[in-house]
Homo-oligomer: A and B are copies of this chain.
Amino acid sequence: MPVVGMAGGGQLARMTQQAAIALGVPLRVLAASPGDSAARVVADVRVGDDRSLDDLRAFAKGCDVVTFDHEHVPGPHIRDLEKSGVSCHPGSAALAHAQDKLVMRERLTGIGVPCPAYAHLPPSGPIPALEGFAREHGTPLVLKATRGGYDGKGVWVIDDLGARARELVGRLLAEGVDLMVERHVPFRRELAAVVARSAYGQGAAYPVVETVQQGGICVEVIAPAPGLSRDLAAEAQRLALAVADELGVVGLLAVELFETPPSGDGPGGLLVNELAMRPHNSGHWTIEGARTSQFEQHLRAVLDLPLGSTEPTAPYTVMANVLGGDDPDVYRRYIHVMAHDPGVKVHFYGKDVRPGRKIGHVTALGGDLAEVRERARHAADYLRWGTGTGDGR
């Protein structure tokens, strides 16, 4: 059996282990500490720094494929591994587009993929660039760190170009953060298209989902996106498969999208927001809700095995993220959640509980969307607050 190495010991590696167990594929994880989410459930854990070339080289030795739990392994290190003959999937060339938002925007717009208007902010003269962009696209604007952001970190909405905005830009540049600005898109809702592409070039697309964000963190995913027109759903899948192909992604690609409202002179449409090249929060619903989970699909893609069926197992699947509350004893709250709803599936990542931190998710399935959403929300709220209504907030 080939050995798959995953750099990063978070919950994505943890859930990949469940799929690796089924396939009989040994999973090796490079974790920062033995207490990492995935390190707690994998036999072959290497503790090290996934930003250190030496640690990556030692980790890759004996792996047939190296893949990633996150985007933070430095591109030059991945290129170095590739030069020394390690199969990295996705490869450094593809992964650059998930690591740097400016590289991604330039490439996507270059191949005709619709994106929000954007501009780089040169550290030498950021304010004139910002002012020029605001004149063309209006305010509010979205300021983004080109690298290193996640879960709403590295993204700031700027209402106007007043003193606070100027101070923020100055401070970030002084800290060495590379910045870009984007139009604040008046979207109807956010969608995600998760696709897989194997080394051989086979593609597979999951149903397009709606993602609901609060404070920059995804709190709920509805599969499929309710009321999405067949045309837009097909267009989102086509876009995602085309991006995977153009960028040569091997593994999973999650394309986060804005669905824009119909305007006076045309129908609604799609704009690409972000890319991720790994199992993605918007695909957790597939563990129970699709014939092949995104984690198994990622393994099949990076191992160059034929991809699995993405067929849904229920009319609707809703995933709700569980965030940490004030009381860290989540397990104590299992009893209510499981007794209340024997069909809800609980996933806990084995992480220390901190308020607001993603510590797990729940999944509900069924034919009545309102009911399925309510079931998922109740379970997630209860696991966080010890009450299913959010009153505990």
- Give the B-binding residues of A (Cβ under 8 A): 1-2, 14-15, 17-18, 20-24, 26, 39-43, 45, 204, 287-288, 291-292, 300, 305-309, 311, 313-314, 330-331, 334-335, 338-339, 342-343, 345-350, 360, 365
A-B CB proximity, top 9 nearest = A24-B348, A306-B339, A306-B338, A309-B342, A309-B343, A18-B18, A21-B41, A24-B350, A22-B347
> From residue A319, how far is it (CB to closest CB) to chain B in Å?
13
By beta carbon, the residue of chain B nearest A204 is: B342
Contact A350 B1 (CB under 8 A): yes
The chain B residue sitting closest to A363, CB to CB, is B22
* Residues in B neighbouring A39, C-beta threshold 8 A: 43
Residues of B within 8 A of A330 (CB): 24
A342-B365 Cα distance, complex, nearest whole Å: 22
Nearest B residue to A314 by beta-carbon distance?
A: B313
| Given A335-B306, A343-B291, residue A348 in contact with residue B43 (CB < 8 A) | no
If A311-B343, A360-B24 touch, does A300 touch B43 (CB 8 Å cutoff)?
Answer: no
- Chain B residues in 8 Å Cβ range of A335: 305-306
A22 touches B18 (CB 8 A): yes
Question: Closest CB of chain B to A87's CB: distance in Å?
Answer: 16
Can you name the residue of chain B whose Cβ is closest to the Cβ of A45?
B43
Q: Which residues of B contact A348 (CB under 8 A)?
A: 1, 22-24
Q: Are B338 and A305 in contact (CB under 8 A)?
A: yes
- A346–B23 CB distance below 8 A: yes
Using A41-B43, A305-B338, A309-B343 as known contacts, list a sample of 4 further A-B pairs with CB atoms less than 8 Å apart, ordered by residue number in A.
A22-B347, A22-B348, A24-B348, A307-B342
A313–B338 Cα gap in the complex (Å)?
19
Known A43-B41, A305-B338, A342-B308: A17·B21 in contact at CB below 8 Å: yes
> CB-CB < 8 A to A342: which residues of B?
204, 291-292, 306-309
Tell me which of B43, B306, B309 contacts A43 (CB under 8 A): B43
- Taken together as a complex, chains A and B put the C-alpha atoms of A42 and B38 apart, in Å, by 11
Residues of chain B within 8 A of A350, CB atoms compared: 1, 21, 24, 26
Residues of B within 8 A of A18 (CB): 18, 21-22
Report the minimal beta-carbon distance from A362 to chain B, rounded to whole angstroms: 10
Asked if A300 and B338 make an inter-chain contact with CB atoms under 8 angstroms apart, the answer reads yes
A23 cross-chain contacts in B, Cβ below 8 A: 334, 346-348
How far is it, in angstroms, between the C-alpha of A196 and the C-alpha of B229 when the chains are bound? 44
| Cα of A330 to Cα of B26 in the assembled complex, Å | 14
Closest chain B residue to A345, Cβ basis: B22
Known: A41-B17, A331-B2. A343 touches B24 (CB 8 A): no
